[in-house]
């Protein structure tokens, strides 16, 4: 450190902004800082796995906030429901990457120089090295050294010789190359993630059987995109959900667990284009004009017909019901604002209906073995007139009056009390939900991850080490040969290199010459 | 064989493996208890040491237990008609196989009889937990698991679990042994700790295992990301399982950095290994059972 070189009696000169920045930079790029930042990164990742996150489950976040009114606002303000997009999480990983760049880039230069530099000269006393050995050869000094250099070159060592004295060799430069490739690739992974975040988009849509979807923003139930994405530029593909098949486990073990679901689609790359029939399954998305269409969920959509007091049909459609549990007890809302009077229904759809005192109406199996629709009917003002947008999944009953409860099986018609109309549960269809995503950065992220993995393996498995051979005439004729080696990376066993080279140079019974470990 | 017979055969093999492993544990314990003399650790032929015979028996029984467990896992797969990784019971027995496999694999080239007790006891507890608490009847896979990535991703993760467990055992021993060495000062370490290698050798062994497991763990995470991209439409979504896989990765990355940082190489590095192993366990039990995750395939 620079400050330690100052004479103690002199007052320290003011560091100045440049000096301070240099000091800061040196601190940031030290291994110790990298280590602390790695620990910090592990720690700041934890809350996102414990608290619900907006990015993955916004509904549960709202629920959690409702249940914990005391702590939730503070946590929310600090970004605890969006940990991985929070400034403090970003601060940690950005500091880590700055530290990484500051550490790795200079090492690239150092390594490139090392690749051009011959191995260092042989130390005077090879016996002091961690592994060494010696023997008397019958060859001359020059013969021994030439033979050693030749053997080492054959073994892909980088060799430097001094005439008549020693041979130096080094091996394992790939270790540092791999290390640098690994760290530089991590930067590229981050770039890939950033590209995906800025140029990618992702949307969710629920499509009922027999209905279609076209890739425009208004058709999505939820849509999110990076900063540089123009919603007008979405590829104009479309598809229709022709049929959705689902199968559940009926055996004792894991009863009700899904066994198969697949969606038959007809797909068009562009309006007026050729229609293609295809099947989308969980692990088999549809690739559509650079985007991918994934099947992520499914549920039931009862078909109902609502008539008002005049007998006019005011609603005739399938209604998406959202599953609430593994047996697809589902909730949904039917709104007929144009009815006279306006009618609204809160509904509970049960694919295999059961009714108990304890649980009330609920479903006991996810397949539609005994489908039932429990409805609660309301009349009055459903709050649609003030223009504020309303969810199709909730009914604002604050200005409405409940007029009755009924349970229906397919084909049943419920005549509402006081001649206010009727509702018919015709039959049921299914819906499937799709996630449609476009991520232009994923290829880069994948390629960089693979490069990082290769670099990592090279850096961990290649061993860097140096070996030297000294030869001098022995007192009683022949040549005294010393071999010594030094590991330059941890866990490297250089003894085998010494033994190997000695036996190649013709040493008798090498095992006795082994240096103690 | 009928499916019922297959199921019974699989369970019988797992139970037989546990009994064998219990006997192995006894043998290793006897080996530890007999003789107070310090064992020279590298496999130098120093004549018959006390407890060596018992340790050899323990080693053979561990091999037998490994083979029985292998039969149990394979029969489970045949019974279910798929790879035996459909629920937490199946993951657990395969993970135990992974732990024993890594231990036995490592022991081929070096003398690891001293480590036997510390591998066998946790494995036995683990298997007991699996067959009592986590036991699930075999059933088909849920659609999300029907992919060849199941084989790639899960097998890598299971081998990593074996290696991380091995490393945690050696790191824990290095800590205990290191403390005993400091207490003993210039005198010899006494008691059962005299029978394990000195802390430096334990730390080197830990490092060797992590150097093997860390790239494999990286591969398991990347393979999981590729699979997630194909199944869920994004390669990384901070699902709790992914988050803890990332945390585990970061901790072991920190370990590798610690090994080349002054002041962190010794006992602190061993603590990091234990922290990494705990985070792996949190990911296995915590996320599978207690957290609402896309990876909740426990079947419980």
Residue B46 makes CB contacts below 8 A (sequence gap 6+) with: B40
Q: Is the pLDDT score of A217 beyond 90?
A: no
- Assign domain B1-35+54-139 to its CATH architecture: Up-down Bundle (1.20)
**Which chain B residue is nearest to residue A32, measuring alpha carbons?**
B261
Q: How far is B235 from chain A (nearest CA, A)?
A: 8
A211 & A283 share domain: yes
How many whole angstroms separate alpha carbon B141 and alpha carbon B144? Answer: 8
Contact A31 B261 (CB under 8 A): yes
Q: How far is B27 from chain A (nearest CA, A)?
A: 31
User: Within a domain: residue A3?
Assistant: no
Contact B139 A42 (CB under 8 A): no
**Cβ neighbours of A445 in B, within 8 Å:** 235
Q: How far is B22 from chain A (nearest CA, A)?
A: 30
Residue B48 makes CB contacts below 8 A (sequence gap 6+) with: none
Token representation of residue A133 = 């050995």
Contact A442 B238 (CB under 8 A): no
Three-state secondary-structure class, residue A263: strand
Q: What pLDDT score does B88 carry?
A: 84
Report the candidate in A478, A469, A510, A456 with the shortest Cα–Cα distance to residue A155.
A469
**Cβ neighbours of A41 in B, within 8 Å:** 250
Average pLDDT over residues B231-253: 90
How many whole angstroms separate alpha carbon B197 and alpha carbon B114? Answer: 8
Q: What pLDDT score does B1 carry?
A: 57
Query: Is-cis flag, bond preceding A433, omega within 30?
Result: no
How many whole angstroms separate alpha carbon A253 and alpha carbon A188? Answer: 46
**Cβ neighbours of B247 in A, within 8 Å:** 42, 45-46, 49
pLDDT tens figures, A271-302: 888 889 999 988 888 988 888 998 888 899 99
A320 & A288 share domain: no
A304 & A422 share domain: yes
Q: Which helix (H) or strand (E) holds A106?
A: helix A87-116
A356 & A283 share domain: no
Report the candidate in B235, B232, B217 with the shortest Cα–Cα distance to residue A195.
B235
A284 & A308 share domain: no
| CA contacts within 13 A on the Cβ side of B292 | 10
Contact B246 A249 (CB under 8 A): no
Report the candidate in B45, B265, B230, B63 with the shortest Cα–Cα distance to residue B152.
B230
Burial of A235 (0-12, 13-18, 19+ CB in 10 A): middle
Residue B243 makes CB contacts below 8 A (sequence gap 6+) with: A45, A46, A48, A49
Q: Is the pLDDT score of B20 beyond 80?
A: yes
Q: Count of CB atoms within 10 A of residue A232's CB?
A: 7
Q: Is the pLDDT score of A381 beyond 90?
A: no
Band (pLDDT 50/70/90 cuts) for residue A396 is confident
| DSSP category for residue A358 | T
User: Within a domain: residue A185?
Assistant: no
Q: How far is B133 from chain A (nearest CA, A)?
A: 15
Q: How far is B49 from chain A (nearest CA, A)?
A: 22
A271 & A338 share domain: no
Alpha helix (H) residue ranges in A416-494:
442-461
Contact A55 B238 (CB under 8 A): yes
A422 & A332 share domain: yes
Report the candidate in B278, B281, B257, B279 with the shortest Cα–Cα distance to residue B268.
B257
Band (pLDDT 50/70/90 cuts) for residue B294 is low
A87 & A105 share domain: yes
Of chain B, the end-to-end C-alpha distance in Å amounts to 27
Q: Is the pLDDT score of A383 beyond 90?
A: no
Is the model more confident about B294 or about A81? Answer: A81
Contact A41 B136 (CB under 8 A): no
Which DSSP string corresponds to chain B?
Answer: --HHHHHHHHHHHHHHHHHHHHHHHHHHHHHHHS--SPPP-SS------TTHHHHHHHHHHHHHHHHHHHHHHHHHHHHHTS-S-SSHHHHHHHHHHHHHHHHHHHHHHS--GGGHHHHHHHHHHHHHHHHHTS-----PPPGGG-SHHHHHHHHHHHHHHHHHHHHHHHHHHHHHHHHHHHHHTTSPP-GGGGGS--HHHHHHHHHHHHHHHHHHHHHHHHHHHHHHHHHHS-S----HHHHHHHHHHHHHHHHHHHTTSTTTTTHHHHHHHHHHHHHHHIIIIIIIIIS--TT-----
Instruction: List the single range of A96-110, A184-198, A377-391 with lowest mean pLDDT.
Output: A377-391
A270 & A358 share domain: no
Q: Is the pLDDT score of A427 beyond 50?
A: yes
Residue B112 makes CB contacts below 8 A (sequence gap 6+) with: B103, B106
Average pLDDT over residues A158-170: 90
Q: What pLDDT score does A389 carry?
A: 67
* Rounded to 5°, angle at Cα B291 from B287 and B293: 80
A392 & A312 share domain: yes
Strand partners, A268: A238
Contact at 8 Å (CB) between A203 and A469? no
Q: What pLDDT score does B70 carry?
A: 94
**Hunting for tokens 């990076």 — which residue is that?**
A226
Q: What pLDDT score does B297 carry?
A: 59
Contact A437 B234 (CB under 8 A): yes
Q: Count of CB atoms within 10 A of residue A458's CB?
A: 18
**Which chain A residue is nearest to residue B272, measuring alpha carbons?**
A39
Whole-prediction pTM: 0.82
Residue A379 makes CB contacts below 8 A (sequence gap 6+) with: A341, A342, A343, A344, A400, A401, A403, A420
CA A158 remoteness from chain centre: 41
Q: How far is A64 from chain B (nearest CA, A)?
A: 13
Report the candidate in A105, A460, A174, A112 with the shortest Cα–Cα distance to residue B257.
A460
Q: Is the pLDDT score of A144 beyond 60?
A: yes
Alpha helix (H) residue ranges in A171-329:
174-199
Report the candidate in B150, B293, B299 with the shortest Cα–Cα distance to residue B230.
B150
Instruction: List the single range of A15-29, B115-129, B252-266 with lowest mean pLDDT.
Output: A15-29
Residue A112 makes CB contacts below 8 A (sequence gap 6+) with: none
**Hunting for tokens 């698991």 — which residue is that?**
B145
Which residues constitute the domain of residue A88?
Answer: 15-113
A470 & A490 share domain: yes
* Rounded to 5°, angle at Cα B169 from B166 and B171: 105
Axis-axis angle for helices B148-184, B88-109 (nearest 10):
60
Token representation of residue A358 = 């304890």
- What percent of chain A is modeled with pLDDT above 90? 39
Q: What pLDDT score does B244 carry?
A: 94
Q: For chain A, what is the mean pLDDT? A: 86
**Cβ neighbours of A190 in B, within 8 Å:** none
A327 & A385 share domain: yes
Strand-strand pairing, A201-208 and A158-162: unpaired
**Cβ neighbours of B261 in A, within 8 Å:** 31-32, 35
Contact at 8 Å (CB) between B35 and B49? yes
pLDDT tens figures, A437-452: 999 999 999 999 999 9
Q: What pLDDT score does B39 carry?
A: 44
Average pLDDT over residues B119-127: 90
CB nearest B143 (choices: A50, A282, A445): A282
Three-state secondary-structure class, residue B208: helix
Burial of A124 (0-12, 13-18, 19+ CB in 10 A): exposed
Radius of gyration of chain A (CA): 37
CB nearest A296 (choices: B215, B226, B232): B232
Q: Is the pLDDT score of A515 beyond 70?
A: no
Average pLDDT over residues B152-180: 92
Q: Is the pLDDT score of B119 beyond 80?
A: yes
**Hunting for tokens 């994948």 — which residue is that?**
A446
How many whole angstroms separate alpha carbon B50 and alpha carbon B46? Answer: 11
Pairs across A and B, CB distance < 8 A: 137
Edge-to-edge strands of the sheet including A322-323?
A322-323, A330-336, A343-350, A372-380, A400-408
Whole-angstrom CA distances from B162 to A366, B106, B216, B275 are 38, 11, 12, 16
User: Within a domain: residue A186?
Assistant: no
CA B288 remoteness from chain centre: 18
Report the candidate in A269, A296, A215 with the shortest Cα–Cα distance to residue A223.
A215
Residue ranges covered by each domain of chain B: 1-35+54-139, 142-300
pLDDT tens figures, B33-47: 775 444 444 444 444
Of chain A, the end-to-end C-alpha distance in Å amounts to 36
| DSSP category for residue A125 | -
Q: How far is B20 from chain A (nearest CA, A)?
A: 29
User: Within a domain: residue A147?
Assistant: yes
How many whole angstroms separate alpha carbon B222 and alpha carbon B133? Answer: 31
Token representation of residue A310 = 């005049």
Total number of domains constituting chain A: 4
Contact A193 B287 (CB under 8 A): no
User: Within a domain: residue A273?
Assistant: yes
Edge-to-edge strands of the sheet including A131-137?
A131-137, A479-487, A465-473, A166-171, A158-162
**Cβ neighbours of A439 in B, within 8 Å:** 234-235
How many whole angstroms separate alpha carbon B168 and alpha carbon B155? Answer: 20
How many whole angstroms separate alpha carbon B299 and alpha carbon B8? Answer: 20
């Amino acid at each position: 450190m620079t400050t330690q070189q100052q004479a103690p009696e002199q007052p320290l000169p003011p560091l100045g902004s440049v000096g301070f920045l240099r000091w800061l930079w040196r601190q940031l790029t030290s291994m110790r800082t990298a280590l602390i930042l790695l620990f910090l990164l592990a720690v700041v990742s934890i809350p996102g796995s414990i608290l619900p996150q907006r990015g993955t489950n916004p509904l549960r976040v709202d629920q959690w906030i409702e249940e914990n009114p005391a702590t939730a606002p503070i946590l929310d303000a600090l970004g605890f429901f969006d940990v991985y997009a929070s400034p403090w999480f970003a601060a940690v990983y950005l500091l880590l990457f700055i530290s990484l760049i500051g550490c790795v880039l200079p090492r690239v230069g150092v390594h490139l120089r090392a690749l051009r530099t011959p191995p260092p000269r042989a130390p005077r006393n090879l016996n002091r090295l961690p592994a060494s050995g010696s023997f008397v050869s019958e060859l001359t000094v020059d013969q021994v050294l030439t033979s050693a250099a030749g053997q080492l070159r054959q073994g892909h060592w980088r060799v430097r010789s001094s005439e008549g004295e020693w041979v130096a060799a080094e091996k394992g430069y790939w270790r540092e190359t791999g290390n640098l490739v690994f760290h530089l690739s991590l930067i590229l992974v981050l770039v890939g993630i950033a590209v995906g975040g800025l140029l990618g988009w992702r949307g969710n849509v629920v499509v009922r059987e027999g209905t279609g979807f076209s890739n425009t923003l208004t058709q999505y139930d939820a849509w999110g995109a990076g900063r540089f994405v123009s919603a007008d530029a979405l590829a104009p593909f479309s598809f229709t959900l022709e049929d959705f098949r689902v199968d559940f486990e009926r055996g004792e073990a894991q009863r009700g667990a899904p066994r198969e679901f697949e969606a038959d689609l007809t797909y068009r790359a562009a309006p007026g284009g050729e229609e293609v029939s295809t099947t989308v399954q969980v692990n088999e998305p549809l690739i559509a004009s650079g985007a991918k269409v994934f099947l992520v969920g499914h549920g039931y959509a009862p078909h109902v017909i609502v008539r008002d007091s005049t007998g006019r049909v005011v609603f005739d459609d399938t209604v998406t019901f959202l599953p609430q549990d593994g047996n697809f007890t589902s909730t949904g809302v039917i709104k007929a604002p144009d009815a006279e009077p306006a009618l609204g229904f809160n509904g509970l759809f049960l694919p295999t209906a059961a009714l108990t005192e304890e649980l009330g109406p609920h479903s006991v199996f996810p397949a539609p073995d005994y489908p039932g629709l429990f409805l609660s009917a309301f009349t009055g003002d459903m709050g649609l007139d003030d223009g504020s947008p309303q969810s199709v999944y909730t009914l604002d009953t604050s200005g409405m009056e409940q007029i009755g409860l009924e349970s229906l099986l397919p084909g049943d018609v419920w005549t509402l009390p006081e001649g206010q109309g009727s509702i018919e549960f015709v039959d049921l269809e299914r819906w499937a939900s799709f996630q449609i995503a476009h991520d232009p950065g994923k290829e880069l992220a994948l390629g960089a991850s693979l490069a990082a993995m290769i670099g990592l393996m090279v850096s961990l498995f290649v061993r860097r080490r140096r070996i030297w051979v000294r030869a001098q005439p022995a007192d009683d004729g022949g040549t005294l040969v010393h071999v010594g080696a030094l590991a330059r990376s941890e866990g490297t066993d250089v003894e085998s290199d010494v033994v190997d080279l000695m036996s190649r140079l013709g040493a008798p019974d090498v095992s006795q010459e082994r240096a103690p470990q | 064989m009928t499916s019922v017979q297959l199921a019974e055969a699989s369970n019988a093999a797992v139970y037989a493996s546990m009994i064998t492993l219990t006997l192995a544990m006894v043998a290793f314990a006897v080996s530890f208890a007999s003789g107070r003399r310090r064992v020279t650790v590298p496999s130098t032929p120093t004549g018959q040491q006390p407890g060596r015979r018992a340790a050899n028996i323990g080693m053979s029984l561990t091999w037998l237990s490994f083979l029985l467990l292998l039969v149990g896992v394979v029969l489970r797969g045949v019974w279910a008609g798929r790879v035996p990784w459909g629920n937490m019971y199946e993951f657990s027995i395969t993970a135990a196989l992974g732990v024993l496999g890594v231990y036995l694999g490592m022991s081929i080239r070096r003398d690891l009889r001293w480590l036997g007790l510390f591998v066998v006891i946790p494995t036995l507890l683990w298997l007991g937990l699996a067959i009592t608490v986590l036991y699930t009847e075999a059933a088909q896979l849920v659609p999300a698991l029907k992919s060849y990535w199941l084989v790639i991703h899960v097998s890598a993760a299971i081998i990593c679990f074996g290696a991380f467990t091995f490393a945690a055992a050696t790191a824990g021993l290095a800590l205990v042994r290191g403390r005993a060495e400091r207490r003993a000062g210039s005198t010899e370490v006494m008691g059962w700790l005299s029978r394990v290698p000195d802390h430096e050798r334990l730390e080197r062994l830990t490092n060797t295992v992590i150097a093997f497991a860390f790239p494999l763990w990286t591969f398991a995470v990347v393979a999981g990301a590729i699979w997630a991209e194909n199944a869920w439409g994004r390669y990384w979504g901070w699902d709790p399982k992914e988050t803890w896989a990332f945390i585990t990765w970061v901790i072991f990355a920190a370990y590798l950095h610690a090994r080349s940082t002054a002041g962190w190489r010794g006992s602190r590095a061993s603590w990091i290994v234990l922290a990494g192993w705990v985070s792996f366990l949190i990911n296995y039990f915590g996320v599978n059972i207690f957290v609402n995750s896309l990876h909740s395939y426990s079947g419980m």
